[in-house]
Amino acid sequence: MMHLKSKHKPILILSVHCSDKWVRLQHQFISKNTDNFQIALYLNNTSSHQISKLIKDIPNINIVHTNKSDMPGIDQHLTGLRFLANYASSHQERFRSFLILDSDCFPFNRWEQNLKTKMLKYNKTSASMMRYDNLTTYNHPAIVYTKRTQDLIFKHNQLPNLLGIDQPDPTHAPDQNPFPLIRSNKINLHPLAFGVYFDSFYHHAAGSRNKDFTINKYIDYEYNSNHELLFWKDPPRFINFLTQDFSDVLYET
């Protein structure tokens, strides 16, 4: 049996989803910014008709599990993450690396080589999001990258936030501290939403649920729904606006 060298193997991108709209947008950005990939999805509350259309319309996609339970959001997400981690582990030899993404999160800017270079420099085996912008200090599983499936460990967060208040959430918890992917927006329209991380990932925040952000309990900051409309009108331009050192004078927000 022939074994592919690591550089010729695809990357496996895994995500927990409940909206075909976000599946399609995520795939669009992955396709433009990632070489040789496959996608594995854990779907929540998605109709059989939506599933059939996704399989028909999107190449390189594999729906590995569907779930129609009404568990609380945090537990539901953690269950999905652990299922995907087990799926990745059972296919370790087929892929060069693994990327877990939130449903409303996707890469841009030819992200993979930049991230591998930084991880090598700091001797890290995995990388994941740090959401200081949400007053937390744990590694958030909205973005997790690794070559080793043993780094795909997800738990309930046990750490209080920066105000000393418990904040239940899934967390990425490998044995070695991951390389931190921190917010890097040049332009911030909201303290948490519309986030860019490591100049290479966009995270919409609450894309598949209501906009009841934890940080709104501590900072009185109104969410502007017009920004949401601008995002969906032209996602690439919107992200380009967030990452520029100067604002686009033609882009009215």
The pLDDT of residue 1 is 42
Residue 122 vs residue 168, higher pLDDT: 122
pTM (2 decimals)?
0.90
| CATH 3.90.550 holds for 6-243 | yes
Rounded CA-CA distance 224/11 in Å is 36
pLDDT exceeds cutoff 60 at 72 = no
The per-residue DSSP string of 163-229 comes to TS-B---EEE--SSPPEEE-B--SS-SSSSSSEEETTTEEE-SSTTS----GGGGTS-----HHHHH
The pLDDT of residue 135 is 87
pLDDT bucket at 47, cuts 50 / 70 / 90: confident
Residue 71 vs residue 154, higher pLDDT: 154
pLDDT exceeds cutoff 90 at 71 = no
Least confident segment among 60-69, 106-115, 125-134: 60-69
